[in-house]
Structure 1
Amino acid sequence: MSIHLMVVAAYLPDDVVTQGQKLALMKICDSADDETRLSKPGLRRLRAWVGVTEKRCMTIVTELVAKGLIERVEVGKSGRRAVYRVFPLGVPPIPSNDDLDARFKEADAAPKNSRKARTGVTRAAPSKPAMTHEDIDARALAAGEGVKEAGFHEWNPAEDKGRVPPVEPSGFHGGNPEGSTDGTPSFPPSSSVLPFPPTPTADAAGEPTGGCSRHPVPAANCRACGTNPRAGRAARERDRAEAERNAQQEWLREYQKDLAMARRVAQERPEDVEAARLAARQAARQGREKSRETPPPPKF
């Protein structure tokens, strides 16, 4: 393991190696010897370090060889790892803080797309973010957007604009109009003869239209007592399904009880079971013989 070589590989600039190439080179340096700079990382470890496929890992190693950062000493075979020499042209120095600052400053000043870079043009410094509404109004005034001064708007606009009347209303209206009873306005009474409006589905199929029939004295409708024919039908359907399910469970319990009794009898008296089986076979055989002796019906 060579920490020095791995640190040197970690500080290589971006224009020399990509991220995948840097990871592969750091793994090869991690497995290298300090004196000979020979490394046997192994394809499995190298692939796990970089996080790529086997074919892509071999391609990255070939790219590092083409850039002169490593060289192959021995080619790997089945059961034998390949041997690489790290930095065959010389080990680069570890950059200082000043070198890193100069590198980053140059990278930040470089255009993002060199094909669209404008030479000889000085870029303006980015403006400070607006902190208050006064900053926004001041920028709009400087841009010539017609803002009179920074701050809130004036009160009501001029009368010729017609947006808001220049004066406040004199008061509320003058009371009830002529011909009214000076009383509180109300809605017209209901046209229904019942004390409450009927349900929306009172005339549906199966629901009474003359009121609720579940009382000694029929009520005007089901809302008078809280009952509902539809809810009653749903409750009866639930009771019927529950009774059917209970009957099925009872039959299943009886069947299991009979089955358990038959198994117990078969275990206690196997001779009776064998005799019943022989009797059933003999009865079936007699039935087949009888069907053979019976002449077929005449054909017309």
Structure 2
Amino acid sequence: MSIHLMLVAAYLPDDVVTQSQKLALMKICDSADDETRLSKPGMKRVRAWVGVGEKRCTTIVTDLVAKGLIERVEVGMLGRRAVYRVFPLGVPAIPSTDDLDARFQAADAAPKNPRLARPGVARAAPSKPAMTHEDIDARADLDAMSLAAGEGVKEAGFPRGNPDDDQSRVPPGEPKGFPQGNPKGSPGGTPSFPSSTGVLPFPPTPAAGAAGEPRGCPKHSTPAASCRGCKTNPRSARAARDRDRAEAERQSQREFMDNWHADQARARQVAQDRPQDVEAARLLARQAHRAAREGPGDARSPKK
């Protein structure tokens, strides 16, 4: 245990480490040796100090390695803890009271959100901290009195009713740039689109004209563009043809395999019933092979 290294880690500023990284570093320093600065804290102990999961704890330790605050000496394995060296680039000094005062003054003077900071605007002084519950009750009563008098922050929500005359946000009268009333010749009612002039009750399929398919179902006396009910539209016809083609191909493959198995079965039956014929056929095959090898075209035959 190294109290000195743990105190050094505890006093690191916020712009160097986050809160989770500081807790992990303090645990690693707590298990370190004062002379060698080697530490074997164990992943479970670091997780218990930080209060995060295993993957998040590994990420935090990796961030500490990237910042140069620790370095891995030995990688942890199953049944063996990892070994770290704390502050490999040098142990920082513990800040004095004056250093802490300067750090906090700079932090208090800096804006909470730098993106919304406005130069030249003085920040309001912080309110006096409440000492007892009576201070909090008195502050709440003061806020209620301010709201009743129309001062301070109003209640959050949407405005109720129309604004007063002095608070009108829209100028009286109609805005300029818009036509006044209905245009000439307008019936003043809801506009409607003209009815379809097509012969078919429904539009044809999108790919009917491009693919050269008939516009409508030929199985009906009256042409119909969509026949999903009887499944005779062009899309269903193409799908049915594809299914029939695939089924015919599978049937031909099954017939071929059945015929092949039947031929093999007949050959095995012949070999069992007439073994002398099989032996005679094998003898003829050997003689033909020997004659082909000893023929004039064979390179190993003697020259005459």
TM-score when scaled to structure 1?
0.42
Structure label with greater radius of gyration: 1
